[in-house]
Structure 1
C-alpha cells in the first residue's frame, strides 16, 4: 500500500524546508507518495485558505500536515478551521507561540507538534537581508537536526504512516518538543554530548524570546538592531554546540543513525562501518 501524504507550508519555520525530505532522505521509499503545496513567505488568511482548500478538495491525501509559524495567528487559524471540518486526519506543526493554541487545536480534532527550539527570526529591515535570513535558518536547521527535534517529528509522522498501512485509525500526535524529548530521541551515548545538545536546544528557545523583544517590544532603531543581532549570534553558537556534541559522538563511533528502508521501516545503527538493521 502507498500512503499519500499532503504537506501544506505557509510562511516558514526552521523545520519547514526538510519536513518532507526527512520522510524519504534517499528518495527511494516505495510506501509513500508526498504532495507539497505552499503559500510562500506570506501566511495571510487568503493565501492559507487557497492552498489548504486545494489540498483538501483536489489532492485528498490520507492525512495532512500543516506547517508554519504561530498556529494561533489569523492565517493558520483559517487553515485549522478548514482542516477541522474535513474528513482527513490533520496535524499542525508550529513553533513556540503555538503553545497558547494547542488546547484549541486539540478541541478542533487536530493533532499538533510544537517545536520549542524553532525560534522566530530577527525580522527587522535594517538587519535582515536574504543572506542573513538564509544563515539564520541554516543554523536553526542544525539545531533541529542535532538536538533530536527533527527525529521526534519524523517519528511521529512515520507512526501515522504505519497506521494507514495497517488499516488502523490514525492516532494524531499531541507533542510539545522540549529539550528532554529531543535529546532522548537522539540517543546520545556520551553524557557531555547530551549536555551540549540540551544547551543548544535551550539557547535556540531563548533566541525566539530575544527576537520577539527586538521585533515587537522595542521601538527605537538604535536599541532593536543590537537586540536582533544578538539573537542571531545566539543561534550561531547554539549550532556550534550541536557540532561539538556530534563530534564527541563521532569520536566514540557512536552516532545514532536511523535511515528508512525502501519499505518505510526505520532501521538503526551506531557504528560507522556497520549496516543498519
Structure 2
C-alpha cells in the first residue's frame, strides 16, 4: 500500500524546512507519498484555516504539524481540527519554556517531537535581514542534521509509516513522544568519541541560543542593547555549525560516517565504509 503523509507547515522552524525531505531523500520511495500545505511565514487564523482545509481534503493516513511554539492557539487549533476529522497528528515544534503548557500536550492523544535545539531566530529589524535569516537557518539545519537530531526525527516518523503499512490506522497508531535532547540526538551517530563530544557541544550551544534570542527580542527594550544580544545568539549558532563540521570531518577521516538511506520500498539500509553497499 501507499501511505499518505500530510505535512502542515505553520510559520517556520528549521525542522519544517526538511520534514518531508527526510522521509524520501532521493524522491524514489514507492510506499508513501507526501502532501505539504503551508501557511507561509505567518500564523494568522485565515492562513492556518487554508492549510487545515487542504489537509483534510487530501485525507492523509496521518499528519505532521510543524510550527514554532506548538502551544500557541493557531497550531493547537490546527491539530485539534485535524484530529476531529480522524487524522492522527504528530506535532513537531521547538522548545518552549512553559512547563505547564507542555504537560498538556504530553498527556494528550497527539504525538510530539520537541526539537530543543531548533532555536528561535534573532528577529530584530535592526539586525535581521533576508540574508541573515537564511544564513542562520542554514547553520541550524546543519546542527540538526549532523548531530543526529534529524535522523532520530526521521526514524520516528518512519515507524509511524511502517505501522500504517502493517494495517494500523487512526487511534491504533502508536505516535512518537520524543524530547530531542543532546544525548538522544548523538546516540549511535559517531564512532569517534571526540566527534561525538563536538556534536554534543554543538547541540547544547544551539539549545541555549533560544533563550538568548528571547532576551533580545522580548525582554530588552533599548535597541543599543538588544542588537548585540541577538547578534551574539547568531554567532553562537555559527559556532555550533563549525563544531558539527569538525565532528563530521573526524568521522570522515576514520571512514566511519553513518549512512542510512531508504530503499524504494521504504526499508532502511545502512553502511559506514564509504566504498561499500548499504545493507
TM-score of the pair, normalised by structure 2:
0.96
Determine the structure 2 residue equivalent to 1:140: 140
- Partners of 2:236 and 2:73 lie apart in 1 by 29
CA shift for structure 1 position 44 = 2.3
CA shift for structure 1 position 105 = 2.2
For 1:40-59, list aligned pairs within 5 A.
40-56=40-56, 58-59=57-58
Determine the structure 2 residue equivalent to 1:253: 255
Determine the structure 2 residue equivalent to 1:226: 228
Instruction: Name the CA shift for 1:118/1:54 in 2 (closer, same or farther; >3 Å).
Output: same
For 1:1-277, list aligned pairs within 5 A.
1-56=1-56, 58-97=57-96, 100=99, 101-168=101-168, 169-185=172-188, 187-277=189-279
- On the 8 A contact 1:204/1:235 being kept in 2, the answer is yes
- Partners of 2:8 and 2:111 lie apart in 1 by 14
**Per the alignment, in what secondary structure is the counterpart of residue 96 of structure 2?**
helix
- Partners of 2:97 and 2:148 lie apart in 1 by 20
Q: Which runs of 5+ in 2 are unaligned?
A: none
TM-score of the pair, normalised by structure 1:
0.96
Q: Deviations over 1:220-260 (max 9, x none)?
A: 00000000000000000100000000000000000000000
CA shift for structure 1 position 89 = 1.1
CA shift for structure 1 position 99 = 6.6
Q: Deviations over 1:93-148 (max 9, x none)?
A: 00011774333224441111000000000000000000000000000000000001
Q: Deviations over 1:139-171 (max 9, x none)?
A: 000000000110011001000000000113321
**Per the alignment, in what secondary structure is the counterpart of residue 97 of structure 1?**
coil
Q: 4+ runs of 1 displaced by more than 4 Å?
A: none
- Partners of 1:74 and 1:167 lie apart in 2 by 33
- Partners of 1:220 and 1:102 lie apart in 2 by 31
Instruction: Name the CA shift for 1:5/1:264 in 2 (closer, same or farther; >3 Å).
Output: same
Instruction: Name the CA shift for 1:98/1:62 in 2 (closer, same or farther; >3 Å).
Output: farther
Q: Deviations over 1:51-87 (max 9, x none)?
A: 113212x110000000010001121122132133221
- On the 8 A contact 1:46/1:75 being kept in 2, the answer is no
CA shift for structure 1 position 50 = 2.5
TM-align CA RMSD: 1.2
Q: Which runs of 5+ in 1 are unaligned?
A: none
- On the 8 A contact 1:99/1:114 being kept in 2, the answer is no
